[in-house]
Chains A and B, each alone.
Chain A
Amino acid sequence: MTRSIYLGTLGALAGFFAWTPAHAADHTNLEEGLPLEIEDAYPIGRGSFELQGFARFERTAEGKDLYRLVPRLEVGIASNTQFTVEVPFELGPAVEDEGIGDVSASFLYNINTETLSLPALGIVGGAVFPTGPDSHGVDPFATFILTKTLGTSSHMHRVHLNLQGLYNSDAQPNEREALYKMVVGYSVRLGADTILLADYVREQEREEGKTINLAEIGLRRQVTPRLVLVAGVGVGLDDDSPDFRATIGFQFSPGAPWFGRGNYGVAGYGYSK
């Protein structure tokens, strides 16, 4: 049964990407969860906003089904800086109380663009709020992100590193007080409109003694100048990890609203005889 799910999902993904016409935008800007855990060091442009969302099916280590629906809003609040808020919903037999999970909000700041000698570096600071059932305390987290291009190929072979630390401010009995998550990823351009990516995830759970290890692979495809669609799958590498996960999602970038006029702020603008 599980193998059928794996093969069916892979077949559907292959069909989707073979058929879907693809058109411009920022499929190269990797976002956490879209469709893999890895993200790159670059935020969205100043003044713009982006609507994102993904749906994930996961067969947990305990053999139960978990469905996550995660809508997200990103805003380019300043140069090289984005603000993100996401509101997850968790459903399925793996969840005792179905409904809203822990809302999180964060800022990503890009320290530098990649150069020939320096990788791109970014830092994220945020917090997870106890909006889910059985959640306690506001948990701050910080992530260090590194993105580096390999070689001189025009295919944009890149490696990415995410190192995250989270402080479990109201740790319950049998919970860790501090957790880390490490993601190592790789991305490459396939044609003009598709990015292939893969990553390895090692993430401590809140529960003491439990650490998951996952390998994931996925695709990001531009379908219009404003819309990116994504899909990915992952498999657990040990008994503590989910057996399998599959993710589909989207990113929609309407652009940057601006209420200026034709001659706004431009001195002497206009026609003169």
Chain B
Amino acid sequence: MAAPQIISRTIAVILATCSVVAPAAVARDIHFEQRNEVGHLLGPYNSAFFFRHNSSFRYSGAFHFHHSLQHDLLQLTPLERRHAVDAEFDQRVFDFVREKKAYTEPTMELYGQYVARMAWRVYRAIDWTHMHHEQTYDIMSDAGIPWEKKKEWTDKAVAYYLKKNPVARSVAPLDVTMRRAGVMMKPYFTYYRNYYPQSNSQAWIAHWWHPVIYEAIMISGNGRAQEQNIGATNATMFDAVYPDRPERMLLSREIMPRYSRMSPESANIFDNLHMLHGVVYDILAYEGWSESEKRAELYRFIDAMSYRPGDERLARKFRTPYPNVDPRVYSPWMRGPEGEMSRIMKEMMDEMMPMMMPKGMSPARKAQVMAQFKMKMKMGMQPGEIPGSLHDAMMKMMPGMTMDPAAVEPGKTPQKMVDTMLAGWERKYGGMPDIAPWPMEHQPHATTTASN
């Protein structure tokens, strides 16, 4: 029999086998969706970051390698094997970053093909927002765009990002979007940071790195100081940040105050993306739900933190606690668990507690609850920490706690809880004046010496 006939008949057998196997696949969860991908915005600055700051481009690619593969590792690894996987992945990511193995900017599917097929819209949201990172880095890196025009181009990139894809992250600050999400009492919340602390710390290094690179450009201007200051910031990553990793997710307002004032929309988009990563990883690490239940919750969460018309009115509702931060310096306040993220979470806990414990609790009990809450917010498991999620810990400590079923079920929003928390935010911050824009009329005096 000639080779072509052998090959043709082999293919026929494969197709016949598939027709038998397909019914088995049908018995599995079936869902149908389309990719609905959108082209990246064309601009004169495209690829400026790649060509001008190629090392940094490749560090970014390495972090996105982490983000990509992390999805499949969490979904496919039984929790009982997490310690070994966590350690091995941490080393692999560090090697990837140090050796700049990512020539490419990985899409989430490139290393995370299983979750791509399980919940495509998650990747659509992440890749679309990584596109905005790419656009905004390019604009800031392109010396051909005058300094006073950077904001105009950035605003156009923001508008394109928001208008062209319904999975765009909101331009409202994380304080608002995290309340909308209503995730804190879900049975998965804190799984990633508690059970995969080393992998989580890589994410928090990435979420330190991305903002400080913007800020390094903001203190440099368009000239050669960009190369010097970005280089110094990258050196800080290896010399200081990796040996003593951040214990919380740093927010844009903390470590890129200048850029946040120049483009608060972008700053909030990135904070919302970084939070999305963490919660998605929580859901994937959790073993109590099926894949279809996880997908329902993932999509609910993505929708909850998506852009809504009118969010731009909230974009400047934040303060910058460290307005003169030097991005090249890893200051002590950047390292610990206390900061803007923990403040937001604690406020939300305080807003939820009266609903969950309508009869109140004694000061001593409250102190125990908040102590357990603080442990849950930290990476890894602390001595005395109750296993499981924040919800599990709260239920153990307060068995009589009143819980909206939607607060714990996949794909459901605890609307009353969300409304209560948003009302709390409105009372505290709704009337705060917008943070002032950052003046871009003149380039900064190029500083090339790090200061504390």
Contacts and interface: CB of A to CB of B under 8 A. Distances in A.
A75 B34 CA distance: 18
Nearest to B65: A192
B27 to A, nearest CB: 9
A112 B312 CA distance: 33
A104 interface: no
A262 interface: yes
Contacts of A111: 34
Nearest to B46: A255
B291 interface: yes
A47 B104 contact: no
B312 A269 contact: yes
Interface in A3-60: 21-25, 27-28, 42, 44-49
A213 interface: yes
Contact of A192 (B2, B30, B103, B113): B103
Given A23-B50, A154-B72, A256-B38, A115 B30 contact: yes
Contacts of B365: none
A268 B312 contact: yes
Interface stretch (A95-103, A125-133, A168-176, A220-228): A220-228
Nearest to B114: A152
Contact of B134 (A149, A225, A262): A225
Contacts, number: 205
Contact of A115 (B3, B104, B118, B309): B118
Contacts of A118: 25, 30, 32
Interface stretch (B160-168, B229-237, B336-344): B160-168
A272 B264 CA distance: 12
Contacts of B32: 112, 115, 118
30 contacts: A21-B103, A23-B104, A28-B107, A28-B110, A42-B35, A46-B39, A47-B38, A48-B39, A110-B35, A112-B34, A116-B114, A117-B28, A154-B111, A154-B113, A182-B11, A189-B110, A191-B101, A192-B111, A222-B103, A224-B47, A225-B134, A226-B46, A237-B2, A255-B40, A256-B38, A256-B40, A263-B159, A265-B159, A265-B163, A266-B163
Contacts of B114: 116, 152
B446 interface: no
B152 interface: yes
B156 A262 contact: yes
Contact of A271 (B41, B57, B434): B434
Interface residues of B, number: 70
Interface string B101-117: 11111110111111011
Given A24-B103, A202-B4, A184 B11 contact: yes
Contacts of A262: 152, 155-156, 158-159
A80 interface: yes
Contacts of A191: 101
Q: Say whether chain A's binding surface is mostly helix, strand, loop, or mixed.
A: loop
A199 to B, nearest CB: 11
Contacts of A48: 38-40, 42
B76 interface: yes
Contacts of A268: 309-310, 312-313
B449 interface: no
A207 interface: no
A200 interface: yes
A44 B39 CA distance: 7
Interface in A138-176: 149, 152-154, 156
A270 interface: yes
Nearest to B435: A271
Contacts of A1: none
A113 B309 contact: no
B444 interface: no
A209 interface: no
Interface in A69-85: 76, 79-80
B33 interface: yes
Contacts of A27: 104
A42 B310 CA distance: 34
Nearest to B119: A115
- Please indicate which of the listed interface residues B4, B118, B312 has the most CB atoms of chain A within 10 Å of its own CB: B4
A192 B43 contact: no
A204 to B, nearest CB: 12
Complex A-B, nearest 5 residue pairs according to Cβ-Cβ distance, in ascending order: A48-B39, A262-B155, A256-B39, A24-B105, A255-B42
A195 to B, nearest CB: 10
